Amino acid sequence: MKMIHKLLDQMSLIPINFQYTDPQPLSGQGFCFQSMMQQTVYGTYWKTKESSKQTWLVLFHGLGAHTRTDGYLDFVKKWLQQGYDVIGIDVRGQGGRTQNHRQIDPKGLYLTGYPKFEEYYYSLIYMDSYRLIDICQIIEPQHKIIANGGSQGGALALFVGAMHHNVQMILADMPSNTDIPYLITHSKGGFQAFLSHDHLEPWLLEDIDLLSYAHLIQKPILLASGSIDDICPLKTCESLYQKLSTKKSMIVYHGFGHGGYDDMHFPKKLKFIEEHINEGQ
């Protein structure tokens, strides 16, 4: 994991240049900041109107969504109603306000920037996500921080939860970027694009695959997966769960694929937070 630490060191030298921008849906406040490759990353935060829990719910979106899509905003509403302040970013080049630093690889998004680690798509998105946690502390420095997301968003929640000491809890549904060799050969997700490569760069497993980060996660974590998920198969989530040595829980939704169990799972997230949030200090 030397390469990811080196990249974090490089990013620490880049001025964050945090700025408020324009109003966003649901009375959200837009903002932007600088990240790697001279990229401006855009995001939104929402303040609850309920009795505040003094906690950020960092909501990372899935592949192809962004902070203005209906599904994302539905999640925002749910968390706001429970007293959480919500914050998120538009991931590079996925239809939101954040542009991509380079053109998408014609063979697939997951190959963009490969084989150069410093230019690889998910190397840079990991950096953007890490910096979002710094933004949380700029806006509300006393808030607790929960990292949450599904699929790609679950992967980003895992990364910041492992690497940023100010994250108190992780809620990761059907996380991607986990057990990448298995994803390449056994899933219908984006990593199957690597089937066109005879050789995998070692850093793909050491610095991008989230199984490599399991030992760094020392805060409560709740995982969820569908039993017939063919994008982020159950086996990949199970592999991560087995490597974790922290307070952990995993719920399998039998008969469900890549999502579709949000209404059932949301109350279980609330219960997990209530029972374990103070264990992640």
Query: What does the pLDDT average to over 262-271?
Result: 98
What confidence tens digit (pLDDT) does each residue in 217-258 have? 999 999 999 999 999 999 999 999 999 999 999 999 999 999
Average pLDDT estimate for 97-103: 91
Q: Which residues, in sequence order, are bridge partners of residue 251?
A: 224
Q: What would the pLDDT profile of 157-187 be if each residue is shown by its tens digit? A: 999 999 999 999 999 999 999 999 999 999 9
Query: Helix 121-139 crosses helix 152-163 at what angle (to 10 degrees)?
Result: 60
Q: Considering the chain, what percentage of its residues have pLDDT values greater than 70?
A: 99
Q: How confident is the model at residue 141 (pLDDT cuts 50, 70, 90)?
A: very high
Q: Torsions phi, psi of 42, nearest 5?
A: -105, 145
Mean predicted lDDT score pLDDT of the chain? 97
Say how far apart CA 60 and CA 66 lie, in whole Å: 9
Q: Is the pLDDT of residue 138 over 70?
A: yes
Above 80 in pLDDT, residue 149?
yes
| Per-residue pLDDT at 80 | 98
Helix (H, G, I), strand (E, B) or coil at 122: helix
pTM of the model: 0.98
Query: Where do the DSSP E strands lie in the chain?
Result: 19-24, 28-34, 40-46, 55-60, 85-89, 144-150, 169-173, 221-226, 248-253
Residue % of the chain over a pLDDT of 90: 96
For the stretch 104-132, pLDDT in tens is 999 989 999 999 999 999 999 999 999 99
**Is 31 strand, coil or helix?**
strand
Report the alpha-carbon distance of residue 46 to residue 191 in Å, rounded.
33
Cis omega (within 30 of 0) for bond into 181: no
> Residue 22's pLDDT is what?
97
What pLDDT does 279 receive?
Answer: 87
Residue 55, pLDDT > 70, answer yes
Does the pLDDT value for residue 101 go beyond 90?
no
Check residue 281 and give its pLDDT: 60
pLDDT band for position 102 (50/70/90)?
Answer: confident
What homologous superfamily is domain 2-273 in, according to CATH? Alpha/Beta hydrolase fold, catalytic domain (3.40.50.1820)
